[in-house]
Amino acid sequence: MAEFVTLETSEDHPGVGTILLHRPPMNALSRQVQSELAAAAEEATVRDDIKAVVVYGGPKVLAAGADIKELNDLTFAEASKIAGRLQHDLGSIADIPKPTVAAITGYALGGGLEVALGADRRIAGDNAKLGVPEILLGVIPGGGGTQRLARLIGPSKAKDLVFTGRHVRADEALAIGLVDEVVAPDEVYNAALAWAGQFRNAATVALAAAKRAIDQGLGVDLDTGLKIEVAQFASLFATEDRAIGLQSFIENGPGKAEFTGK
C-alpha cells in the first residue's frame, strides 16, 4: 500500500482516476513519493475502467518541489545514478496513454511543476504560484523541466523562468500558456474532473493514438511526424471502435457511438 500517492476512483465520476499526492504540509517530492507517483501512473495506464486521469495535491498545494534534505546529501556519483530515475518518475504522467489533467492549487514549484508539465492540460486556481526555482539552489530542473517547459511555452519564456527561478502567478501563467484554464481555488478539482469526465465513453484506443502522434511528432521534423500520423491512423482500422464509430455515424449521425475501448 502506497503511503503518499494513491490512485482513487469515485462512482460520482465514472471513468476518471485521481492520482492524489498527500504528504503534508507541502507534498515534498521525496524519492519515495516519486516512486509511488510512477507506480500510480502505471496502474492508471493498465486499468481499463480508467479512461482519463486527474493529478491533484489537495486543496492547498500540488507540490512545492523536491525534498531538499535528500538532495543536499547527494554526491556527484549518487546524483548521476538517480538522475534518470528522477526524470522518469516525475515525468511518468506523460507516459499515461490517456487524457490527463493537472489540478493545480497553491504552489506547483520545481518537481511539482515538472509533474504538472507531464499532463495534457493544466487547470490552476487563481491563487496558484508556479515556477522552477532550482537555479536559486545552484542546480537546474532535473525532472524534465528544461525540456517540457521549452516545448510548452517556447525557449525564450522558458529560459526566463529557469534562469531567474521566479514564481509565476496564475494570470501570467495563463497568458504565456503555462496553464490552460484559471478558476477559483475551490473549483480547481471539480473543473479537472469535468474535463476528464468527458472522455469516459470515448474511443480510448483512438485517444491513445492521437496522443502518441502529437507527442512523438513534437520531437521530430514535419515529414517524420506525418509518417507517425499515418501509422497511427492506419492502426485504428484494426479496432472495434473504428467499426462502431463509422457505422454509428452512417446510421445515426455524429456523436452517438457507444465505444467498447477495443
How wide is the angle at C-alpha 151 spanned by C-alphas 38 and 57, nearest 5°? 35
Give me 247's grid cell. 457505422
Phi and psi angles of residue 211, each rounded to the nearest 5 degrees, phi first: -65, -45
Query: Beta strands 181-183 and 121-125: pairing type?
Result: parallel
Percent of the chain scoring above 90 in pLDDT = 90
Please state the three-class secondary structure of 187-251 as a single string: HHHHHHHHHHHCCCCCCHHHHHHHHHHHHHHCCCCHHHHHHHHHHHHHHHHHCHHHHHHHHHHHH
Task: Looking at the structure, tell me whether residues 124 and 211 fall in a common domain.
Answer: no
Instruction: Tell whether 262 is covered by a domain.
Output: no
Could you list the residue range(s) of the whole structural domain that residue 172 is in?
Answer: 5-197
Task: Dump the DSSP string for 167-185.
Answer: -EEHHHHHHTTS-SEEE-G
pLDDT in tens, 127-161: 999 999 999 999 999 999 999 999 999 999 999 99
Instruction: Tell whether 257 is covered by a domain.
Output: no
Determine whether 229 is an active site residue: no
Instruction: Tell whether 260 is covered by a domain.
Output: no
Task: Please check the confidence at residue 213 and state whether its pLDDT lies above 90.
Answer: yes
Tell me the C-alpha distance between 40 and 150, whole Å.
26
Task: Looking at the structure, tell me whether residues 219 and 158 fall in a common domain.
Answer: no
Bridge partner list, 65: none
Instruction: Tell whether 56 is covered by a domain.
Output: yes
pLDDT in tens, 220-243: 999 999 999 999 999 999 999 999
Instruction: Tell whether 104 is covered by a domain.
Output: yes
Task: Please check the confidence at residue 73 and state whether its pLDDT lies above 90.
Answer: no
Task: Looking at the structure, tell me whether residues 67 and 123 fall in a common domain.
Answer: yes
Residue-level pLDDT at 204: 96
Bridge partner list, 123: 103, 181
Residue of 8, 114, 187, 240 marked catalytic: 114
Instruction: Tell whether 258 is covered by a domain.
Output: no
Angle, to 10 degrees, between the axis of helix 204-217 and the axis of helix 240-252? 110
Give me 126's grid cell. 487563481
* CATH at 240: 1.10.12.10
Task: Looking at the structure, tell me whether residues 14 and 118 fall in a common domain.
Answer: yes
Residue-level pLDDT at 66: 83
Determine whether 114 is an active site residue: yes
Q: Tell me which amino acid residue 42 is.
A: E
Residue of 8, 36, 43, 134 marked catalytic: 134
User: 167, 133 in Cβ contact below 8 A?
Assistant: yes
Task: Please check the confidence at residue 214 and state whether its pLDDT lies above 90.
Answer: yes
User: 98, 53 in Cβ contact below 8 A?
Assistant: yes
Task: Looking at the structure, tell me whether residues 178 and 241 fall in a common domain.
Answer: no
State the total domains in the chain.
2
Tally of CA atoms within 13 A in the half-sphere of 219 that contains its CB: 7
